[in-house]
Amino acid sequence: MSMFESSEYRWRETYFVLFDSSKRPTLKAVEQALSAINEHYELTNLREDGSGRIDSLTLVSPDDFAAVDICYTDGEEVLEHAANLIAEMEPAACEPGEAETLRRMKQYDGRFDVLHFEHVLGLPQEEEIDEMLDPSALLLVLAVLAKITGGVAIDPQGGTILPGDD
C-alpha cells in the first residue's frame, strides 16, 4: 500500500536517487541501513524481487510528521529520465564536482523514486501544517540510499544534486 492510499497523509514532493542498476541493494540491506539511523522509524510494505533485492517499502517517521515511499525502477525509462534531468541541471552546475557527477549520471539505469508525505490527520484545517513537517527523515533516507548504491540524490524541483557520499 502506498501512502497515496492513506487519508492520513498528503504527498508533498518526489526526489530521486539515480545509480547503476547492478548496485541495486537487497531489501534486507536497505532495511538495516534505515533502521540504524533512527530506531523510531517504522518500516512497512516491504517488497522484494525474486532475488531479495528491494522493490519498494514505506518508512513512517511519527516524530517528523512524515512518511516516505521508496519505489525501484530501472531500464530505458530511467536513462531517458536521467538525460532530461541532466539537460535541466547542466546550465546551473557550478559547484566543484557537479559536472563529473552529471557525466556519471548519464550511465545510471536504476532509480529510487522517494515520495515524501506529511501526516495531516487530526490537525486543525487552519493550523500551519508546514510548521509540523520535518524534512529530516527524507534527507536521511536520501543520503542512505545514495550511499549504499554509490548513486546520487536529486531534488528535481530545485534542479540540484543533494549533498552526500558519492
* Per-residue pLDDT, 132: 66
Which residue has cell 532475488? 51
Q: What is the DSSP letter of 92?
A: G
Element of type H or E holding 14: strand 9-19
At residue 72 the predicted structure's pLDDT band, cuts being 50, 70 and 90, is very high
C-alpha cell at 63: 516524530
* Per-residue pLDDT, 93: 62
* In the chain, where the domains are located: 3-161
Burial letters 135-161, b for 16+ CB under 10 A, else e: eebbbbbbbbbbebbebbbbeeeeeeb
- Give which of 4, 68, 71, 73 is closest to 34, Cα–Cα: 68
Q: Does residue 35 carry a pLDDT above 70?
A: yes
* Per-residue pLDDT, 13: 95
At residue 166 the predicted structure's pLDDT band, cuts being 50, 70 and 90, is very low
| Confidence (pTM) | 0.88
Residues 6+ apart with CB under 8 A from 139: 162
